[in-house]
Amino acid sequence: MGILAKIRNNTQTKTAKVILGIIIVPFALFGIDSYLSSVGSNVYVAKVDGYEISLQQYIETERQVRDQMAAGGEQDQSQFETPEFKKAVVESLISSELITQSINKNNFTISDAQLSSYIVGMPEFQDKGKFSQTKYDQIIQYNNISPKKLEEKLRADLAKQQIQDSIAKLVYTPEDKIQPLVNLSYQKRDISLHEMRLDDYKKKIVPSNEEIEKVYNENKASFIQPDRIKIEFLIYSVAGIVPSIKVTEQEVVDYFESNKYLFDGQQQRKARHILFSFNAGITDLEKENIKKNAAKTLTTLKKNPKSFAKIAEEISQDRDSAKNGGDLGFISRGSMVKPFEDAVYRLKVNEISDIIETEFGYHIVMLDEIKGDEVNLDNVKSKIKGELIFTKALNEYVINADDFNNTVYEQSENLSAAAKKFNLKIEKSPWLTLDDAKKFFNNELFAETVFSKEAIESKTNSVAIEVSPNNLISARVVEFSETSQKSLDEVTEDIKTFIISRDSEKQLIDDGNKLVEALKVNDIKIDWIDDLIVSRADKQGLSDPLINQIFKVDTINIPAYAGLYDTSGEYFVIKINSVDTKDVTDQISIDLYKEEYQTALSSAIKVAYIDDLRAESKITVNIERALNYSN
């Protein structure tokens, strides 16, 4: 790697799609405090050898997986409400806890040196490619977590990761076993499909009153209306303050002139440089001698700027760029170390800099070209005004936060005084269960506060709770309804929906399986659709479960038949018309398959490892807790 590659600050990485695997690691920073704390939670989704995985942990993990998958491009939000997704989250938490307990039993630890090295290298804590204590402290403070708790979590994550990495090293694939597997992977199957829809069956199901009453009587425990409350609340927030903030034109101008460099991000500059590099452990005397040599070169260049490329080629110690006369190409703000970047953005075209010192050595820079317009006030006026408004609103929020809290506390009989003082509107909620309250502001502390015995009995204002950054809430209970049994009338429609879904799915699968068996005996005429030629590499838009089923079908006798119920509400009858298998000779395809095969084998070994841990553990799963939770 050349000096240029080291100078550049490559902090931008592509966000890959996050797949819910055996272990979710690491959770990193965001929301980690919620993950680590389960105080006050007595509801669990699973137990692993006595350790309870709380509903709170499940909720936080599910939220993080949703966010990660959405960041990776997942657009289908409905998948997150499926039982399969929720069960996968619970299973991942169980697997993670199994490994944690195994690590503890075997006294496997991560040293302080390993942990320190990992933290220093985390992009979240870096500024200009280097660890920033300031950024570390800011993120710790923002996430309301102590350094000790963060380090404990990262230490645990690193231990888990090392276990996974060690398992992956067990994978070995003999070369002579790959070719048949590659051939099978690229096998093509000529198929036809017949589709049966769940919606068509639902129309035929009409639950009787007797069926509805039977389900109700057999499942009364499922139809309990938990404690509920109605609340009044005030929101004191930066967003609420913003409309009242005024910013003058002069303030915008002054900010632009003082911070002009911040708005050069879209402009690119083409530069070349000559590097006089530093060796490790260089002394002050050696640096002084190098600087004298750089100064002599600078004098020569000032006299004859056109010689820059030739001299760079001859003496620059950044050999990658020296080959091109010191040319670095176009650079943008944030892509180089700061002293170097600042110098480039101060230069005019064809101007040569003074000597610049960076951690890599002394540089002399020449600016060749500027691409993009220089930023002017008109282009960024709206952005600056917005930033100034937000900054002023944030300052006002910080100054008045304690006063807001004191007001709702000192005049706790109602919210009117605080509403009048801070020009806020008193809002009202619908009926809320405890789970509803947790989701109302996505804050566990808020829910526990408004559902506390004191809050329900006194009906006084709560303390101000910062439910999210820059959002303070004070609430009071105005109505309370105790736990009660829901009447049959209240749940009739829900039971109807359940019966229709249950019975139609069973009937669809029964009919589909019967049709498949009938086709194996007689050539029944049915409407075949989607005559396709598919392979594992070219799925023709079919789902993975359907492709997997297609390639599981025994093709000794052609045509061959199989069926698959897709949880999206369709039953597919599969007909295999013919099979085409050829030797794959393309080395790229062979190598690609080998890599994918080894990855799959590694995953299988990890699953086997988890299965072994399961066999030695006592696990209780309360999956209904997760299934009944809706984000």
Per-residue pLDDT of 621-630, as tens digits, reads: 776 655 555 5
pLDDT score of 500 more than 70? yes
pLDDT score of 148 more than 90? no
- For the chain, helix (H) and strand (E) counts, in that order, are 25, 19
pLDDT score of 478 more than 60? yes
Question: Does 589 reside within a domain?
Answer: no
Mean pLDDT, to the nearest integer, of 334-356? 87
Same domain, 154 and 193: no
Question: Does 26 reside within a domain?
Answer: yes
pLDDT tens by residue, 383-402: 889 989 999 999 999 999 99
Mean pLDDT, to the nearest integer, of 330-345? 83
Place of tokens 């045509």: 559
pLDDT band at 14 (very low <50, low <70, confident <90, very high): very low
> What residues contact residue 155 under an 8 Å CB cut-off, 6+ apart?
109, 110, 115
Number of neighbouring beta carbons within 10 Å of residue 255:
19
Query: 168-203: buried (b, 16+ CB within 10 Å) or exposed (e) per residue?
Result: eeeeeeeeeebeeebeebbbbbbbbbbebebeebbe
- Residue 124 belongs to domain spanning: 16-172+608-627
Alpha-carbon gap, residue 452 to 458, rounded angstroms: 10
Same domain, 83 and 144: yes
Alpha-carbon gap, residue 141 to 124, rounded angstroms: 14
Structure confidence at residue 86 (pLDDT): 79
Q: Is 70 within 8 Å of 127 (Cβ atoms)?
A: no
Mean pLDDT, to the nearest integer, of 461-467? 92
Mean pLDDT, to the nearest integer, of 348-353? 92
Structure confidence at residue 427 (pLDDT): 94
pLDDT tens by residue, 433-461: 998 898 888 888 999 999 999 999 999 99
pLDDT band at 572 (very low <50, low <70, confident <90, very high): very high
Same domain, 32 and 156: yes
Question: Does 123 reside within a domain?
Answer: yes
Question: Does 597 reside within a domain?
Answer: no
pLDDT score of 16 more than 50? no
Structure confidence at residue 17 (pLDDT): 26
Structure confidence at residue 423 (pLDDT): 93
Alpha-carbon gap, residue 407 to 180, rounded angstroms: 76
Same domain, 274 and 309: yes
Two structure tokens written together for 223: 């139809």
pLDDT score of 11 more than 50? no
Structure confidence at residue 196 (pLDDT): 92
Structure confidence at residue 614 (pLDDT): 81
Alpha-carbon gap, residue 149 to 140, rounded angstroms: 10
Same domain, 281 and 365: yes
Same domain, 531 and 405: no
Same domain, 235 and 87: no
Same domain, 516 and 572: yes
Query: Which of 482, 513, 547 finishes a domain?
Result: 482
pLDDT score of 10 more than 60? no
Question: Does 254 reside within a domain?
Answer: no
Question: Does 233 reside within a domain?
Answer: yes
Structure confidence at residue 610 (pLDDT): 78
Same domain, 464 and 574: no
Same domain, 142 and 203: no
Q: How far is CA 55 from CA 85, 168, 223, 422, in A?
A: 15, 31, 20, 37
Which residue did the predictor score with more confidence, 70 or 516? 516
> The CATH number of the domain where 387 resides is what?
3.10.50
Mean pLDDT, to the nearest integer, of 222-228? 88
Question: Does 3 reside within a domain?
Answer: no
Mean pLDDT, to the nearest integer, of 317-323? 90
pLDDT band at 19 (very low <50, low <70, confident <90, very high): very low
Structure confidence at residue 296 (pLDDT): 93
pLDDT tens by residue, 102-124: 777 777 777 788 878 888 888 88
Residues in the chain: 631
Q: How many domains does the chain have?
A: 4
Question: Does 11 reside within a domain?
Answer: no
Alpha-carbon torsion angle 248, 253, 254, 257, nearest 10:
170
Alpha-carbon gap, residue 369 to 352, rounded angstroms: 12
Same domain, 238 and 386: yes
Of 88-92, 259-263, 511-515, 516-520, which gets the smallest average pLDDT?
Answer: 259-263
pLDDT tens by residue, 592-610: 666 667 667 777 777 777 7
> The CATH number of the domain where 122 resides is what?
1.10.4030
Q: Is 36 within 8 Å of 149 (Cβ atoms)?
A: yes
Structure confidence at residue 33 (pLDDT): 36
Alpha-carbon gap, residue 333 to 342, rounded angstroms: 9
> The CATH number of the domain where 314 resides is what?
3.10.50.40
Q: In what order do the strands lie in the sheet with 570-580?
A: 529-534, 188-197, 570-580, 560-566
Same domain, 314 and 397: no
